[in-house]
């Protein structure tokens, strides 16, 4: 039985997606953030290859939503830095004897069960990382790390390359999972246009490629 846990960090929903202000009202931004969060939760909690899902947030509403889906929750206080919060959540998974963690942002509107299953299956080695990036190959849109705590997280601008280098330095087998579905995270107004095209069937299946990182 798998002992890999999904970790979903969630910013306060009421303040989410401020960069979408030119296109959406505050209420619309909150509704969109909740919709995407629920989608990621539904996917993560329906994958039998995962041992469980842990949501970490300082937003009581987000934590209540997580519990609706049977996820475990950790409440952060104040305004914690994301990397530090993720390290605390990872330490908790390690104490629960988890064999690995799959970090999923709460704003992946197209993530599918197939994506999660593929990343878990790729991460079957003891010292391994599986990483998926965004459309600009800059950020980290999903990352499996095994064992928990193998690397110190470096989310933020340029995190894709930073995580790869940290994985290599830790002696991990680093693999890249490339999926058009996972490349889309909605941060800017133009991302909404891409999402709309997907909803209208312009890209039904999504291109998925897997390769080892050999740079």
pLDDT at 48 over 80: yes
- What is the predicted pLDDT for the residue at 203? 46
Q: pLDDT tens across 168-182, in order?
A: 999 999 999 998 899
Cβ contacts of residue 31 below 8 Å, gap of 6+?
none
Residue 151: pLDDT band by 50, 70, 90 thresholds? very high
Share of the chain above pLDDT 90, in %: 68
pLDDT at 210 over 80: no
pLDDT at 207 over 70: no
pLDDT exceeds cutoff 90 at 91: yes
Residue 79, pLDDT above cutoff 70: no
In three-state form (DSSP H/G/I as H, E/B as E, the rest C), the secondary structure along the chain is CCCEEEEEEECCHHHCCHHHCCCCCHHHHHHHHHHHHHHHHHHHHCCCCCCEEEEEECCHHHHHHHHHCCCEEEECCCCCCHHHHHHHHHHHHHHCCCCEEEECCCCCCCCCHHHHHHHHHHCCCCCEEEEEECCCCCCEEEEEEECCCCCCCCCCCCHHHHHHHHHHHCCCEEEEEEEHHHHCCCCCHHHHHHHHHHHCCCCCCCCEEEEECCC
- Name all domains of the chain by residue range, CATH numbers in brackets: 4-212 (3.90.550.10)
Residue 73 has pLDDT above 80, yes or no: yes
Residue that wins the pLDDT comparison between 137 and 190: 137
Q: Which residues pair with 72 in a beta bridge?
A: 54
Q: Is the pLDDT of residue 10 over 90?
A: yes
What contacts 209, CB < 8 A, 6 or more positions away? Answer: 178, 179
CA dihedral sign of residues 84, 89, 90, 96: positive
Closest-CA residue to 82 (of 56, 101, 62): 56
Residue with more model confidence, 78 or 139: 139
């Amino acid at each position: 039985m798998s002992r890999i846990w999904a970790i979903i960090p969630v910013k306060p929903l009421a303040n989410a997606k401020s960069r979408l202000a030119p296109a959406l009202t505050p209420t619309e931004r909150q509704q969109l953030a909740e919709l995407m969060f629920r989608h990621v939760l539904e996917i993560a909690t329906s994958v039998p290859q995962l041992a469980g899902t842990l949501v970490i947030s300082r937003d009581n509403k987000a934590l209540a939503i997580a519990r609706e889906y049977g996820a475990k929750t950790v409440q952060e206080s104040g305004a914690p830095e994301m990397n530090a919060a993720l390290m605390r959540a990872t330490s908790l998974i390690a104490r629960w004897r988890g064999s690995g963690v799959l970090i999923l942002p709460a704003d992946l509107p197209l993530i599918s069960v197939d994506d999660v299953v593929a990343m878990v299956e790729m991460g079957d080695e003891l010292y391994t990382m599986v990483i998926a990036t965004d459309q600009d190959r800059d950020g980290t849109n999903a990352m499996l790390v095994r064992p928990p705590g193998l690397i110190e997280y470096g989310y933020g601008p340029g995190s894709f390359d930073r995580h790869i280098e940290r994985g290599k330095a830790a002696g991990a087998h680093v693999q890249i999972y490339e999926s058009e579905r996972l490349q889309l995270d909605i941060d800017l107004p133009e991302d909404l246009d891409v999402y709309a095209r997907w909803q209208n069937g312009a890209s039904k299946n999504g291109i998925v490629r897997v390769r080892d990182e050999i740079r």
